[in-house]
């Protein structure tokens, strides 16, 4: 392996792991595709299994033989020995990695991987029966948690508006426990996400759209009539403000989760788990 020891926290080789923004990662390397940062062995392994190509790696020296070993084996299995032998693997002692500016290192492993070209919305929707749409969900923790729920509970895919958080951001991928690499997702373009455009697009593809919203005409999430539709798209809004009124009005159904003790809403990730479970029955 191409092991490269780092002894200086300011070494330029570490910029890509700790001092560049996620937007810079997306645009400065191969601008048409970009790269992203994954942390922890479990997330990295799922990315490699899903066919993402490694670019470089940072490993705390004391973790080379335990946590990093399965990652090296996965690189050889999925990418070949030539890639493993040539991949820059930067190593540093614990005191170096803990002083890195920016993100805290998790479990001593980071990897830079090459992104894939995202699937156009029309092609993405073609073979889906049950989807969730994240409408301007900007919290990376919520995006990761919703994607994890969607993957675990059998949804066919996740469609995000342009303003939503990129699922490959470090925190989203980690919160999802790597399931961002196990379920199909794509992000709509800016013009496809404006107003009710995406709702109308989904309806033109045969989807009945379900807004998760507290309105006077909202029905319970376990509604059999809704569940019976062949193609459903569950529209989830951002934490706090929820979905825009025009989006709620444009959807075919408005759905709520019955609650008690004066509670009027749930965290969007918790609400997604309940709605996915009910609508997949």
Rounded to a whole number of angstroms, the distance between the first and last alpha carbons of the chain is: 49
* Residue 159 DSSP one-character state: E
Q: What is the mean pLDDT of the chain?
A: 90
* CA triple 180-182-188, angle to 5 deg: 50
- Sheet-wide strand order for 109-114: 2-5, 88-92, 53-60, 109-114, 35-39
Distances 66 to 71, 72, 88 between C-alpha atoms, Å: 10, 11, 19
pLDDT of residue 93: 85
Question: Does the model's pTM come out above 0.85?
Answer: yes
The candidate with the shortest Cα–Cα distance to 8, out of 93, 88, 68, is 93
Residue 74 dihedral angles phi and psi, to the nearest 5°: -70, -35
Residues of the chain with pLDDT under 50: 101-103, 105
* Beta bridge partners of residue 54, listed in sequence order: 113
Please give the radius of gyration of the chain, using alpha carbons only, rounded to the nearest integer: 21
Domains of the chain, CATH where assigned: 2-114 (3.30.1330.30), 121-279 (3.40.1280.10)
Model confidence pLDDT, tens digit, residues 172-216: 999 999 999 999 999 999 999 999 999 999 999 999 999 998 887
pLDDT of residue 267: 86
- The most distant pair of C-alpha atoms in the chain lies apart, rounded to whole Å, by 63
For residue 270, the number of C-alpha atoms closer than 13 Å in the C-beta half-sphere is: 6
Strand runs (DSSP E) across 73-162, as ranges?
A: 88-92, 109-114, 130-135, 157-160
């Amino acid at each position: 392996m191409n092991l490269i020891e780092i002894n200086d926290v300011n070494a330029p080789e570490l910029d890509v792991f700790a001092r560049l923004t996620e937007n810079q990662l997306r645009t400065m390397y191969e601008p048409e595709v970009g790269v992203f940062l994954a942390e922890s062995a479990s997330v990295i392994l799922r990315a490699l299994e899903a066919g993402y190509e490694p670019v470089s790696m940072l490993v705390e020296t004391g973790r080379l033989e335990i946590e990093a070993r399965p990652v090296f084996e996965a690189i050889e299995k999925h990418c070949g020995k030539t890639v493993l032998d040539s991949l820059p693997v930067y190593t540093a002692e614990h005191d170096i990695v803990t002083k890195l500016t920016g993100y805290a290192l998790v479990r001593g492993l980071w990897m830079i991987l090459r992104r894939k070209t995202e699937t156009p919305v029309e092609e993405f929707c073609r073979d889906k029966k049950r989807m969730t749409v994240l409408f301007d969900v900007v919290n990376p923790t919520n995006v990761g948690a919703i994607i994890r729920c969607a993957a675990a509970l059998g949804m066919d895919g996740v469609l995000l508006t342009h303003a939503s958080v990129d699922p490959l951001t470090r925190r989203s991928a980690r919160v999802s426990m790597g399931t961002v690499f196990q379920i199909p997702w794509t992000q709509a373009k800016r013009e496809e996400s404006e107003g009710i455009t995406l709702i109308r697009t989904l309806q033109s593809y045969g989807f009945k759209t379900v807004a998760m919203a507290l309105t006077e005409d909202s029905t319970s999430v376990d509604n059999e009539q809704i569940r019976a539709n062949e193609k459903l798209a569950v529209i989830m809004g951002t934490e706090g403000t929820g979905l825009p009124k025009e989006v709620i009005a444009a959807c075919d159904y408005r759905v709520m989760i019955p609650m008690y003790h004066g509670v009027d809403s749930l965290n969007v990730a918790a609400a997604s788990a309940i709605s996915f479970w009910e609508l997949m029955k």
